[in-house]
Each structure stands twice: as C-alpha cells, then as structure tokens.
Structure 1
Amino acid sequence: MTRDTNQQSGATVAIQQTMGLTEWLLLIILSVLWGGSFFFVGLAVRELSTLTIVLVRVGLAALALWVFIALGQRALPRRPTIWLAFFAMGLLNNVIPFGLIVWGQHSIGAGLASILNATTPIFTVLVAGIALGDERLSGRKIVGIILGFVGVVMMIGFEALSGLGRELVAQIAILGAALSYACAGVFGRRFKAYGVDPVITAAGQVTASSLILAPLTLWLETPFSQAMPSMTTCLALLALALFSTALAYILYFHILAKAGATNVLLVTLLTPVSAILLGALILGDRLTVVHLSGMALIALGLGAIDGRLLRLLRR
C-alpha cells in the first residue's frame, strides 16, 4: 500500500514497538505537564463550573497554538477528511474526558481521580489490541500494566481507595474519561498516515473542541453570568491551557506518531510519579519508602511493557 493510499483511507502506519531515549524523555515531560493539570483543575473548580473550565482550557490552548503556527509558517491541511478527524479527536481526547474529569472532581478527591485515571493504559491495551494489528495484546503488556497500576496506588496511598463505592457516578465518570482517552489514542494513529505535523494536529484538535464546547457552554452554564474568578483561578486556567494542554498535546501527538497508542498512554502511570517528585522538590514534601516502592513497581512495569528488560533477562 502506498503512502497516498494510506492517506486516502486514513489507515495507520507502522510504529516502533520499543521507545527510544527521546520518546521516554518526552513521555516524562508529558507526565509532568499532565500531572499539573489535576492541581490546576482542583483550584479552578472552587469558583467555576465544569464546561466553563474546559472551554477556557481548550480555547486558550487553540489560540496559543495558532499563534505559534502562524509564526512558524506551517502549511495547513486542506482535505475535509483531516478536519473531520480533528473533530472526532477533539470529542474523544478533549470534550468527553475533560468534561468527565472536571465534573468528577467536583465530588471526589484528586488522589482517587488520579488512581482511576491510571486505568487508561489498561483500556488502551484492550482497545489497541482489538483495533490495531501492530499493538496486539500480549502477556508482558498485561503484567507490566498491572505492576504499574499497583505502583500508582501505592504512591498515592491505599487510603485514597477508601472512597471507592461512594460517589459512584463520579468515579464511573473518571473511568469513562480513561476509556475515551484510550479510544482517542487508537483513533489518533491515523494522523501519521495523513502526514500531519503534530503541532497542526494539536491545534486542530483543541480548535474543534472549542467549536463543539462553545455553544454547549453558553447554553447550559451561561458563563458570563458567573462571578469574576480570582487571580489564582485565572493563573491556574492559563497554566492549564498553555502547559497542560497546548504544549502537552504537541508532545502527545509526536510520541503517538512514533511509538503508538499503548506507549503514549503509559504517561498516566508516570503522572503520579511526577506529581510526588515535584511536591518533594518544590514544596518540601517527604518521600517515604512506600513512595519509592511504588516508583520501583512502576519502573518495573514500564520495563516489562517496553520489552527490553525481558530480553535482557533472557540473555
């Protein structure tokens, strides 16, 4: 099948099953950017409603990305198929999960939300294993993800699980967001076949999300009737848009094109690690043996998924 045929059909092209050093470094940076999003959302929900936060997040991110694209004079895709794919990606990767996570965080804490969000790789392995020929389900992936997930729970604290069963609808909403992220990762593989720059893909996705959300937000929440948010909330929204959305999605689509859906969504296992390490470095939080044990389990799980650890043990 030629490149042109791939682009016309939207078929995915092959990815590298094992990530290189560059992809691992970008994944760690992405985990830091997305780890901060739970903190920023936690500040914003004190004063603003769900859809308003999500709309401001994607709207400001879209504006920043288009300014960056204009300065770089990047060529824009012209085919309607690609722009329709941006809208589908916007729904799966922004509108649905952002809305569900922000709504869920009105009722449950950030710790439990992070644990539930860490189920994303589990859903991704299942969805990608069914839909993608080069990301088939394997024993090492299952073992690696289970190890990583247990490590996440250890780091955040088993006491966070005490809330399971209460506010059940909010918890199901976070799990729904994780499933939506998984579907988005699989769907997003097509943009490499289309030959679209990751910056353009990120801008197209958040722009489509903004166009979908704007009428819904104006209709359901009348954001202009809400009280003017504090400076703290405004700064949290700005950081959420520029760093946890605009910059984060440039990295996300670059890793997705190189290493595939399963690998890029391992970021949800690394996000709690980044959050706890940042707390220790910046806020002076104390690292415990439990934290370090959780990190070791996550590292072991990621090594199993990557495959090189098992090959080394066999040799």
Structure 2
Amino acid sequence: MFARRSAVLFVVSAVLFGGTFVAAKTGLAHLPPLFFVAVRFDIGAIVLAAFAATHRSWADLRPRTLGDVAGILATGVLVIGLTNALLFVGQQYVTSGVAAVVFSLNPILTPVFAGLLLTTSRLSGRGVVGMGLGVLGVGLVANPSPSALLGGGLGVPLLFAAAVTSAFGAVVIRRADATLSSTACTVWGVPLAAVLAHTLSAAAGESVTTLTVPPVAVAALLYVGVCSGAIAYLAYFALVDATGATRANLLFYFVPIVSAIGGWALLGETLSPLSIAGFAVIFVGFVLASGHSVCPSWVVERVTPERLTDERSAQATRR
C-alpha cells in the first residue's frame, strides 16, 4: 500500500502535471512549442539551483558512478526534455482530449519496458485489467471523436512517441541504480532538458526575435516553469524511487481528470456526465492496477483487531 509520503507525492505530481495541459493550451497560442518548453525549463533550472544552493551540499549533488551519470541523462534527456518537446509539438495538431488519451498510454507502456529491463517487475492479471480500465476512463473524460484520433496528422504519432519516451526513461532511471538521490538527479536533469529544448528550437528554425508575450503567457510560463517544471518533477522522481516506475506512472491516469477540472474552472470548458463517469472508472482502474486497498495503510492499521487490542492493553496499563 502507499505510505502517506508516497500518497502525498502522487497527489502533488498528478495535480501539478494536470495543470500543465491547461497552461500549455494558453501558452502555445503565443509561443512556439519548443521555445516554450525551453523557457519552461530555464525557469525550472533557476528555481532548482536556488533550492540546491540552500538545501544541498556539493557532496549530495556530485555524480560518483556511471549509474549516476546514466540516471541524470535518463532524467534530463528522456523523461523531461525529449518527452516534453514531443508533447508540446504534438499538442499543436490535436485537441487536449486527444492528447490526454494518447499520453495516457504511458502507464501501459511502463510495465512493458519494466518487464524487459527489470527482472523483478511483472504485471499481474489484475494489473492488466486495471490499466485497461484506466485507459477507458481517460477516453470517457477526454471524449475525443474517432476522426480526431485518426485524423490528427503528426499529432498522434508525436504524442505516442512522448508516452514511449517517458515510460522508457522512467524504467531506465530505475535500471541505472544511481547513488544520487532523485532530488539531485532532478537538479541536474532540468537544466540539461533546457539545453536540449533550446537546441531543438534553434534546429527547427523557430523565430523568437519578434515575439510579444502577453501577461497570460507569462503566467503560463511561470506555472509550467515553477510548479510543473520544478516542484512536480521533484515529487515525481521521488515517487519513482519510492514505488517503482510502473506504480508511479499510474498518476498519468489522473492527469486528464485534473486537466478536465482545470479547463472547466479556468477556461470555461464543459464537464459532461460522461467525464464524471470516467473519473470513477479511472479510480477503479487505479485500485486494480496498483494492487492497493481503497483504504490507506494508516487507516487499516488503526482499525485492525490486533492494533485495537494493543491500544486497549496500553490504556489499561496506564490506568
């Protein structure tokens, strides 16, 4: 079962990553996608550098082994940099609903790579059913038309590539077995992602010299830079360390829920009864795929007969 710390990391990651789709939809109306990603991680890198300078020593941050280097590269190049570059470029061609459905394949792809690269990771039949329900729930929430899924041009292949890259990178991080903490890998990885995104932006010929950035785009940049570009990745990689890539990536089933609610609250998008039904299906799929009980472990501990008997005995002794 999720420990309370892991549950907090899960919720923080899902909520902050879910807000990314809303902020991206706003920011992409004013900024080229790769440059948007690059500036996002410029901001995130500054925030993380300030955090590291005040909360970590050089001994905590210094890579020592090849596993440390591999973990940093997988974090910065695969999970953060390339995934977001593909995601933001792909979102230009499709609706946010289609993007949510395609990227929700991430939790299904993760155990495939884990089974190939990690000998201790195997998915149960219950997990397979849960993941299928998760995708079904995401489809109900996003409710894209078949023509939108099949007629998105480059959008769907790019988003699928983003899901593949993210899932593969998360498993590679576990495989690397780095001695560095997830926080240290994130501190190194985000600026590495910024360099990669700036390089891709320049190679794609994105013109930024004549850009005008209105306040709404600045707000979107600050959100994706600070909240989902620094804080969310610190929480996410700590969750991968604590629970493994397969369970951690189940959070991406909840990202469309946050996006749908955020779009309804902030952008005036509709929230249909079908979407609400999808929320329930996602939750059931999550419970099955994660192997958890609905009640968190600390609740179970409080109500087990053994625990209650011990507490009564302790109270009697004190009397």
Q: TM-score range by the shorter chain?
A: 0.7 to 0.9
Give the structure 2 partner of residue 145 of structure 1: 131
Cα distance in structure 2, aligned partners of 1:49 and 1:117: 21
Give the structure 2 partner of residue 6 of structure 1: none
Give the structure 2 partner of residue 259 of structure 1: 243
Tell whether the 8 Å contact from 1:125 to 1:141 is kept in structure 2 after alignment: no
How much has 1:219 moved relative to structure 2?
4.4
User: Aligned to 1:184, which of 169, 172, 192?
Assistant: 169
Q: How does 1:275-286 map to 2 (within 5 A)?
A: 275-278=259-262
How much has 1:33 moved relative to structure 2?
0.5
- Unpaired runs of 5+ residues, structure 1, are 1-17, 311-315
How much has 1:287 moved relative to structure 2?
5.3
Tell whether the 8 Å contact from 2:65 to 2:178 is kept in structure 1 after alignment: no
Could you tell me which amino acid in structure 1 is paired with residue 6 of structure 2? E
Tell whether the 8 Å contact from 1:130 to 1:136 is kept in structure 2 after alignment: no
How much has 1:224 moved relative to structure 2?
4.2
Give the structure 1 partner of residue 46 of structure 2: 63
Give the structure 2 partner of residue 304 of structure 1: 288
Q: How does 1:191-230 map to 2 (within 5 A)?
A: 193-221=177-205, 223-230=207-214
Match of 1:225, SS state, is: coil
Could you tell me which amino acid in structure 1 is paired with residue 285 of structure 2? G
Cα distance in structure 2, aligned partners of 1:298 and 1:24: 17
| Residue 269 (str. 1) matches residue 253 (str. 2) | yes
How much has 1:294 moved relative to structure 2?
1.2
Under a length normalisation based on structure 1, what TM-score does the superposition of the two structures give? Answer: 0.85
User: Aligned to 1:119, which of 87, 105, 111?
Assistant: 105
Could you tell me which amino acid in structure 2 is paired with residue 220 of structure 1? A
Could you tell me which amino acid in structure 2 is paired with residue 111 of structure 1? G
User: Aligned to 1:35, which of 14, 18, 35?
Assistant: 18
Change (3 A) 1:284 1:235: closer
- Unpaired runs of 5+ residues, structure 2, are 295-319
Match of 2:150, SS state, is: coil
Give the structure 1 partner of residue 62 of structure 2: 77
In the TM superposition, what whole-angstrom CA distance separates every residue of 1:62-112 from its partner, at most 9, and x where no partner exists?
Answer: 111011110113332242632454123322112221111111111111111
Cα distance in structure 2, aligned partners of 1:78 and 1:188: 14
| Residue 25 (str. 1) matches residue 3 (str. 2) | no
Cα distance in structure 1, aligned partners of 2:202 and 2:263: 37
% same residue: 26
Tell whether the 8 Å contact from 1:107 to 1:170 is kept in structure 2 after alignment: yes
How much has 1:53 moved relative to structure 2?
0.9
Could you tell me which amino acid in structure 2 is paired with residue 213 of structure 1? A
The CA RMSD over aligned residues, in Å, is: 2.3
Instruction: Give the paired residue count.
Output: 291
Could you tell me which amino acid in structure 2 is paired with residue 119 of structure 1? L
Change (3 A) 1:219 1:131: closer
Cα distance in structure 1, aligned partners of 2:52 and 2:39: 20
Change (3 A) 1:222 1:27: same
Could you tell me which amino acid in structure 1 is paired with residue 160 of structure 2? L
Tell whether the 8 Å contact from 1:127 to 1:182 is kept in structure 2 after alignment: yes
User: Aligned to 2:154, which of 153, 162, 169?
Assistant: 169
Change (3 A) 1:289 1:56: same
Tell whether the 8 Å contact from 1:128 to 1:136 is kept in structure 2 after alignment: yes
In the TM superposition, what whole-angstrom CA distance separates every residue of 1:145-172 from its partner, at most 9, and x where no partner exists?
Answer: 0011101111222x44440211232101
Larger radius of gyration: 2
| Residue 53 (str. 1) matches residue 22 (str. 2) | no
